[in-house]
Amino acid sequence: KQEVTQIPAALSVPEGENLVLNCSFTDSAIYNLQWFRQDPGKGLTSLLLIQSSQREQTSGRLNASLDKSSGRSTLYIAASQPGDSATYLCAVKGSNDYKLSFGAGTTVTVRA
């Protein structure tokens, strides 16, 4: 069974600092990996999707890397803003069952 771990569980940084969020997974047989943002009490917003054959994806201030062999992905958010405050979830889709396995998330607070 795929286990997804996100470290740290919470992070508080001053505005302007770069954010580094880590995701690790136990089974390297993945189809893709997706990063989501969740605001309190709300649904999930897709941020980046990385296919298993890719090493990284970029969208604006966001960059996500994937090292499938070591079971790791990192989400970088450059020049953080208070609006980036949210919980960030990592989800891995298995290549055998195409089901998403979620991490517990990293809750980010960006202080103005």
Partner 1 sequence: SAVISQKPSRDICQRGTSLTIQCQVDSQVTMMFWYRQQPGQSLTLIATANQGSEATYESGFVIDKFPISRPNLTFSTLTVSNMSPEDSSIYLCSVEAVEGTEAFFGQGTRLTVV
Residues 32, 54: Cα–Cα separation, whole Å: 9
Least distance from C-beta 26 to partner 1, angstroms?
15
> For binding to partner 1 (CB under 8 A), which residues are involved?
31-32, 34, 36, 41-46, 49, 89, 91, 93, 98-100, 102-105
CB of 17 or CB of 28, closer to partner 1: 28
| For partner 1, the closer CB: 17 or 56 | 56
In the bound complex, what is the minimum distance in angstroms from residue 47's beta carbon to partner 1? 11
Please identify, using beta-carbon distances, which residue of 18 and 46 lies nearer to partner 1: 46
- Specify the residue, 18 or 109, whose C-beta has the smaller distance to partner 1: 109
| Minimum separation from the CB atom of position 52 to partner 1 (A) | 10
- One DSSP character per residue, 23-82 reads EEES---EEEEEEEEE-TTS-EEEEEEEETT-SEEEETTEEEEEETTTTEEEEEE-S--G
**Spatial distance between the Cα atoms of 55 and 108, rounded to a whole number of angstroms:** 24
The count of other CB atoms within 10 Å of the CB of residue 108 is 20
